[in-house]
Structures are given as structure tokens and as C-alpha cells.
Amino acid sequence: MARLKSLAEREVYSCSICLEQLREPVTIPCGHSYCLGCIRDYWSNDKRFFSCPQCRKIFTLRPALEKNTVLAELIENTEAAANSEPDPDPDPDPCSAGPGEVGCDICTTVKMKAIKTCLVCLVSFCEVHVLSHYQVAGLRRHKLVEPTTELQDNICPRHDEVMRIYCRRDRVGICNLCAVDEHRGHETITAEAERLERQKDLIGHQRVMQARIQKVEEDVVVLQEEIDSINQSANVALRDIDELFAEMIRPLESQRADIKEKIRTKEKVAVSRLLDLQRNLEQEISVMRSSIDDLEALFQTHSDIFFLKECPRDFFLKKYTGLPSRDPDPMQYLKNVTVALAKMRDKLKVFVKDQAPPVSRAVAEVDVLPSQQAEPKSRSDFLQFSCELSFDPKTKSKFLALSEDDRKVMSEGNKKVKFVGSRAVRPKKNRAGKQSPLDWAVGQCLSKESLTGRQYWEVSWTTRYISIAVGYKDSSWNDQGADDKSWALIVCPTAVEFKHNDVITLLPGPHPSRVGVYLDYRAGTLRFYCSDTLTLLHKVQTIFTQPLFTGIMLDAQSGATAEFCYPL
């Protein structure tokens, strides 16, 4: 029964609008429940959209409100069980110690509730037995505090004496014997004085926290106002987008209806002409069949005179010339309409493809809450965004091997690649006229973790050639930087290059032995640094539309390695 009462007091049985127990509970699509009258009143303020008062989820159309029968029955059963519970036992003596309360150490039969604890006697007293500490002159000097069970914390475990002194050097409480023994010469003070001093500091700290709480609460209110404003702006934008798209679609719908109506009209005219011709031919067939039947009947007669009398003298049958000439494909124009619409569709696709990127770019450039962090400048600033990366074994080439922690990739060597000096000899082109990426590199391996937000990582290597790339999952990783979905920094013995969309840029500056990569996904910034001096090698400014991954490509030299450096 006690459990049922506690359940009835939970917030899940309360309406977050009226803050009272749910009456006629209904559940909206997001899963939250309210009183039927409360949610109706909340949505009755002539709103253009409807939102949940708790999670702020927006509903373009007003949701239908259905009674939550399960929750209603549970509340009714809980109330019935609580009302039918028998009265508890009569209250015990209010002066006796209950569970969790400190009892009097002097009482022998019934432990009465203690009202004071003496830190000198190390005993707790009830209202009767504490009187001696107020009446006896020698006991008046004892220190009485609120009842506590933590008396053993005040006893020195070594000398079994009350600890009234605090050693500031060792930061422990000590007794008088400790002060003249192992703590001799240390800075000591009475525990009471130390507490008063510490309490003053804590009071000051408490005031600072209270001021901070007030400031944070004000900021929370501001953020909530911004959230409401963003939700409202987003809903207005969505409504305008629906209207704009409806306006763009409406002419097409009208054109479609007009074309369909014209086709149906053409169909009716053509079918009507053919039906008239068909009826005329069927009528002619009927007449000729009737004449044949009459002749058959005449042939059967036995009277020659009757035959000669009924036999037609002028029998004329006009020559049948077949169907009149007509268009072999009277509905050919329908195919022309389909072809014209297909061309229109292709032009519309091209138009949408050309116009969609600016719209997407405009959406991506919207920054509802500008970053409050400045761009990192020092190494310590970069390390605030350091991330731990590892290689995905599923993405490594067959000539590569990974360490046990998947943070280091090693080349096992490719005998098919021959080196001249520091660069590999490029093999002949294949049938497609393209060179294999293995002409100078053994293969690549991608990171297991995706990259979003602000991230910084470093890569070190022992190889003559390395390519450090950042790109989307569906990028052409076998040739890093060959498409518009990846950006690659290439370090070889003779040069440092940057490759993107199959365009290679020669980079001036130092020849790095270790590269740091900084990504600000939201700002669309990707930077490559020489991590030793934090010299900027190259910067990319774009708009990222998918989660990013980083990939490493090594040369074919056996023993070549590359590693994600962490911790930095």
C-alpha cells in the first residue's frame, strides 16, 4: 500500500500544465500525457502550430486527443487502494527515539529521543538527562551540540582522547597528547577556531555560488527564450517553404490537368469517328446478311411462277473499297507530348540541381548559436579538442597490417612495385587508360570513428610517402583527393602537396615530420599544421554535409608505418 501511495505522488501522474493529478488523461503523439481540458486550453490560443509543453515537439496538424485508458485505470486503482488502506497503528510516544533518530545513552528501558550530544562526555542525552549539564556547575562548561552519532570521529584512535586540536600541516584532527608527541612543532589551532575560519571561507564561497546560480538561471531563461524563438522561426520557415513549393508545383499540376483534359478530348473525338464508321459497316453487314437470307428462302420455293415473280430483276451491289484512308497512328501526337514532357523534366532536373546547392548552402550557413570559443592558437588550445582515433580493420588494404590497439598501420611490402630513388616506378596504364593507385602506394586505411564538431589529431610516420586525407564515407579513397568529397595532404621526399577534386597544389613552407589536423565541422574549416611548430600548411574553407572520416595511404616500402598520436 505504501508503494501505491508513493506511485500516486510521482510526477508521471501529474499534469505538467496544471501541476495537479491527471484528470481524463490523454496522450499526444510524442508520448506525454496531459489533462484533456488543459491541453485543449493550451492549444486554443489561435496557434498556427501545435507543440508539446514539455519536449517542445512541433505538430503541423492538431493531433487527435484520445483517452489514455491504461493510465486512467491505473490512477483509479491507485486511489482506491490508498483509500481502502486501514489506519496505521496509533502513533508511538513522540518522545521515544524512532528509526534513524539518535537515542539517549542514559535511558535503560525505552530509549528516549536525544536532544543534545556532549562532545566532552561523548554521550547523547534526552530532555530529562540533559538537565544535569544545565544545573551542575562543572558540567556547564561542556559543549553541547545537536544530537549526532558521529562521536567516534572525535576520538583519537591512538590515545583514546577527544580531539580538540587541528594540525594545519598534516590537515588532521589531533588530541592534546598528539600535539606534544608526533605533531610537536607543527602549526596547530583549536578545532573550533579552525572551523569558524573555514566556515567564513565557505560562506563566502556559498555567496559566490548563489550569485553564480542566479546568473546561470538568467542565462537559462535567455536560452529558453532563444529556443522558443528558434522553434517559432523554424516553423514559420517550414510553413513558408511548404507554400513556396506548393506555388512552384501548382503550375505543373495545372499544366498536367490541362494536358490530360486535351488528351481525353482528342480521345473522345477519334473514338467517336471510328465508332460512327464501325456502326455504318455493321449496318451494311446486317443488310447484306438479310438479303442473303431472303435469297436462301427464295431458292427453297417449289413454284417456278412464284420464284420468277419474287426474283429481283435489277440486283445491284456497290463495290466495297475497304476502310477509308486515315492516319495509321491517329494518336501519334500523344507520343510527341510524352517526349516534350520528358525534355521538360530533364530541364527541370538540371534547374533544380543548379539551384539546390545555393539553398543548401544558405541553410548550412545559418548559425543559431554562434560558437563562444575562439580559434585555437597555441598547442594547449589545440589539445582541448584532441580526439582518440583508431583504424577500421575492415577498410585496410591487403598489404597493410594494424597494431593490437588499431592505432598504428604498417606496410608489409608490395613486391610488384619497384622503386627508383625515393619514388616508385609507375606501371603501365590499364585498359581504361588509368593508372592504378598502387603505382606509388600500397594502400589505404580509414578511421573507425566519424568526425564532427571540433576535433584535433596528429599523425606521425616512418615512410617516404604518406597521404593524410579527410573525406566522406563514399569518397574515392583509393585515390585520395581525386574527387570533391575528400581533401588530402601529401608528403613525399621532394615536396608537400595538397590534392582536392583531382587538382594538386604545391605547398611552400617546412617539410613536416608530423602533421596535426584541426577540424571545425560547424564552421566548415579544415586545417593541416606542422605539429612541431604549429605552422599552417594548408587551410580548407567549405560546407560539410556528411560525417567525415580520415584516411592514411602509405608507400610500398616494407616496414613503413603511420600512427595516430594519442595521448598528445
Q: What digits encode the pLDDT tens for the residues 318-364? A: 777 777 776 666 566 677 888 888 888 888 888 877 777 666 666 65
Binning pLDDT at 50, 70 and 90, where does residue 418 land?
very low
pLDDT at 311 exceeding the cut of 80 = yes
For residue 370, the model assigns a pLDDT of 46
In degrees, rounded to 5, the angle at the alpha carbon of residue 465 between the alpha carbons of residues 462 and 470 is: 100
For residue 423, the model assigns a pLDDT of 38
pLDDT at 42 exceeding the cut of 90 = no
Highest mean pLDDT pick, 2-16, 29-43, 306-320: 29-43
DSSP letters for 313-347: SS---PPP--SPP--SSTTHHHHHHHHHHHHHHHH
Rg of the chain, C-alpha, whole Å: 46
Lowest-confidence pick of 9-13, 202-206, 473-477, 539-543: 9-13
pLDDT at 429 exceeding the cut of 60 = no
For residue 447, the model assigns a pLDDT of 93
Give the whole-number percent of the chain exceeding pLDDT 70: 82
pLDDT at 108 exceeding the cut of 60 = yes
**Three-state SS letters, 536-561:** EEEEEECCCCCCEEEEEEECCCCCCE
Report the C-alpha gap between 351 and 345 in whole angstroms.
10
For residue 373, the model assigns a pLDDT of 57
pLDDT at 83 exceeding the cut of 80 = no
pLDDT at 302 exceeding the cut of 50 = yes
pLDDT at 472 exceeding the cut of 90 = yes
pLDDT at 487 exceeding the cut of 90 = yes
Q: How far apart are the first and last CA of the chain?
A: 58
Nearest Cα residue to 463 out of 562, 532, 564: 562
Query: What average pLDDT score do residues 265-291 get?
Result: 87
How high is the mean pLDDT of the chain? 80
Nearest Cα residue to 478 out of 529, 382, 415, 552: 552
Binning pLDDT at 50, 70 and 90, where does residue 7 land?
very low
- Burial (0-12, 13-18, 19+ Cβ within 10 Å), 303: exposed
Q: Which residue has the higher pLDDT, 369 or 252?
A: 252
- Cβ neighbors of 96 (< 8 A, separation 6 or more) are 110, 111, 112, 113
Binning pLDDT at 50, 70 and 90, where does residue 123 land?
confident
User: What's the half-sphere exposure (Cβ side, CA atoms, 13 Å) at 411?
Assistant: 27
Could you tell me the CA-to-CA distances from 371 to 192, 199, 367, 456, 526 in Å, in that order?
49, 39, 9, 17, 16
For residue 52, the model assigns a pLDDT of 85
For residue 442, the model assigns a pLDDT of 66
**In terms of pTM, does the model score above 0.75?**
no
Report the C-alpha gap between 519 and 458 in whole angstroms.
12
DSSP letters for 409-425: EEE---TT--EETTEEP
**Amino acid at residue number 123:** V
Query: What average pLDDT score do residues 462-482 get?
Result: 89
The grid cell for 465 is 610517402
pLDDT at 175 exceeding the cut of 50 = yes
Query: What average pLDDT score do residues 167-196 get?
Result: 88
The per-residue pLDDT for range 381-415, each reduced to its tens digit, is: 898 889 989 999 999 888 888 988 899 998 876 54
Helical (H) or strand (E) element with 107 = none
